[in-house]
């Protein structure tokens, strides 16, 4: 069974890795990645969209493998010069990366939508998949902490997620709308993959766009999430710390609960295989650690094969998810 219309919901590095695997496993053009823009911010007078860029660089195979974000073979002359001039230097923008921010900001100032700008950029990098922001309007994740409210990058990069998390809000979400291209991709999707991204920082902002939840819930696609939590730890980033601070169990089950009404199936890591019965959804148990291109492609292929087996044929579900009986796995 080969799927021709797959949507991935992604944040930064974890999402970009699985999206890269999906792109490798699917026919060219079959994948649409809908990306979190809650991390976006203005810096040095430029609009920076870190998760969109991380997805683009990974899909183009030009990302920095050491960090997962930014470009490979990067230099930092501008950052150093900026620092010498007393400019802000806590957010490490590389020289090559800077060209993308200049280009995007130039286009945005001409009144071109973020969706169109992103499409131009991904075409410029020769990426066969579609990459779309969750919305064209600015939505900014605001982190409420014991030290006060912090804009996302100030919490994440500048303060290294050290302040105690109290809550999150997605400022501007009420005025945002799902872009038509995102709407069409989700409506037409055969499979929707919730990538192993941070549920609160990466996937919740996407779900905060009005009508996005309903759109996903009503989509006639198999919806499957890959756990970002393995063996009681986040694969990358602060998800586990955030769960602890919000009084949640650090467990894949917290992720299942979090997206409960949206999911038809789940992917657990081998390390958490004992949780299989507790998930209460058809569950694939496999190695979810994506260290190289082959392991990204292998996990993506396993996810697609698992979904294809759910109704025996890989056909679109004939009945809404609520009416579907869990298949045994």
Residue 302 interacts with ligand FO1 (CB under 6 A)?
no
Among 29, 65, 81, 92, binds ligand FO1 (CB under 6 A): 92
Residue 293 interacts with ligand FO1 (CB under 6 A)?
no
- Residue with smaller CB distance to ligand FO1, 12 or 321: 12
C-alpha distances in Å from residue 146, one per residue of 162, 166, 169, 205, 241: 10, 7, 15, 21, 14
Shortest Å distance, C-beta 12 to ligand FO1: 3
Residue 72 interacts with ligand FO1 (CB under 6 A)?
no
Q: Annotate each residue in 138-177 with x if it binds ligand FO1 (CB under 6 A) or - if it does not, as one string.
A: ---------------x--xx--------------------
Crossing angle of the two packed helices 293-310 and 13-25, in degrees rounded to 10: 70
Binding residues with ligand FO1: total (CB under 6 A): 16
Shortest Å distance, C-beta 17 to ligand FO1: 12
Residue 40 interacts with ligand FO1 (CB under 6 A)?
no
- Residue with smaller CB distance to ligand FO1, 66 or 325: 66
End-to-end CA distance of the chain: 18
Give 34's Cβ-side CA count (13 Å radius): 29
Task: Label residue 312 exposed, middle or buried (CB < 10 Å: 0-12, 13-18, 19+).
Answer: exposed
Which residue bears the tokens 């869990």? 326
Q: How many Å apart are CA 289 and CA 243, to the nearest integer?
A: 20
The DSSP code sequence of 135-197 is: -SS--EEEEEETTEEEEHHIIIIISTT-SPEEEEEEETGGG----HHHHHHHHH-SEEEE-SS
Q: How many H-runs (helices) and E-runs (strands) does the chain carry?
A: 13, 14
Shortest Å distance, C-beta 250 to ligand FO1: 19
Among 3, 7, 11, 79, binds ligand FO1 (CB under 6 A): 11
Shortest Å distance, C-beta 11 to ligand FO1: 5
C-alpha distances in Å from residue 50, one per residue of 12, 35, 183: 7, 10, 23
Among 46, 91, 254, 317, binds ligand FO1 (CB under 6 A): 91
Which range of residues in 91-99, 126-134, 277-285, 307-315 is near ligand FO1 by CB under 6 A?
91-99
Question: Which residue, 67, 55, 62, is CA-closest to 9?
Answer: 55
Which range of residues in 89-97, 107-115, 213-221, 262-270 is near ligand FO1 by CB under 6 A?
89-97
- Residue with smaller CB distance to ligand FO1, 37 or 190: 37
Q: How many Å apart are CA 22 and CA 14, to the nearest integer?
A: 13
Which range of residues in 20-28, 49-57, 123-131, 162-170 is near ligand FO1 by CB under 6 A?
49-57
Which range of residues in 50-58, 122-130, 206-214, 217-225 is near ligand FO1 by CB under 6 A?
50-58
Among 53, 204, 264, 269, binds ligand FO1 (CB under 6 A): 53
- Cα-to-chain-centroid distance, residue 247: 24
Among 10, 17, 37, 51, binds ligand FO1 (CB under 6 A): 51
Contact status, residue 74 vs residue 93, Cβ threshold 8 Å? no
Crossing angle of the two packed helices 50-60 and 114-124, in degrees rounded to 10: 20
Residue 70 interacts with ligand FO1 (CB under 6 A)?
yes
Give ∠ CA 181-27-72 in degrees, rounded to 5.
80
Which range of residues in 45-53, 110-118, 174-182, 271-279 is near ligand FO1 by CB under 6 A?
45-53
User: For binding to ligand FO1 (CB under 6 A), which residues are involved?
Assistant: 11-12, 39, 50-51, 53-54, 69-70, 91-93, 97, 153, 156-157
């Amino acid at each position: 069974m080969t799927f021709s219309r797959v949507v991935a919901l992604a944040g930064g590095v974890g999402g970009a890795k699985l999206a890269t695997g999906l792109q490798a496993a699917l026919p060219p053009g079959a994948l649409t990645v809908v990306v979190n823009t809650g991390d976006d911010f203005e810096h040095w007078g430029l609009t920076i969209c870190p998760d969109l860029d991380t997805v683009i660089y990974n899909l183009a195979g030009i990302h920095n493998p050491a960090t997962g974000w930014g470009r490979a073979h990067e230099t930092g002359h501008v950052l150093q010069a900026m620092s010498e001039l007393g400019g802000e230097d806590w957010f490490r923008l590389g020289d090559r990366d800077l060209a993308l921010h200049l280009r995007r900001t130039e286009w945005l100032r001409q009144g071109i939508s973020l969706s169109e700008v992103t499409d131009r950029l991904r075409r410029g990098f020769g990426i066969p998949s579609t990459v779309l922001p969750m919305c064209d309007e600015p939505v900014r994740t605001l982190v409420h902490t014991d030290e006060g409210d912090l804009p996302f990058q100030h919490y994440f990069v500048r303060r290294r997620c050290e302040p105690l998390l109290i809550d999150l809000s997605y400022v501007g979400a009420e005025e945002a709308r799902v872009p038509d291209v995102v709407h069409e991709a989700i409506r037409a999707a055969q499979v929707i993959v919730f990538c192993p991204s941070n549920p609160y920082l990466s996937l919740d902002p996407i779900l905060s766009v009005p009508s996005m939840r309903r759109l996903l819930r009503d989509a006639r696609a198999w919806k499957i999430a890959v756990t970002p939590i393995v063996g009681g730890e986040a694969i990358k980033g602060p998800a586990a710390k955030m769960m602890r601070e919000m009084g949640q169990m650090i467990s894949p089950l917290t992720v299942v609960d979090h997206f409960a009404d949206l999911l038809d199936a789940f992917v657990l890591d081998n390390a958490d295989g004992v949780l299989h019965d507790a998930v209460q959804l058809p569950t694939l148990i496999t190695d979810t650690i994506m260290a190289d291109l082959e392991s990204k492609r292998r996990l993506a292929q396993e996810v697609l094969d698992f979904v294809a087996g759910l109704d025996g044929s890989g056909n679109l579900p004939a009945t809404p998810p609520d009416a579907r009986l869990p298949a045994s796995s």
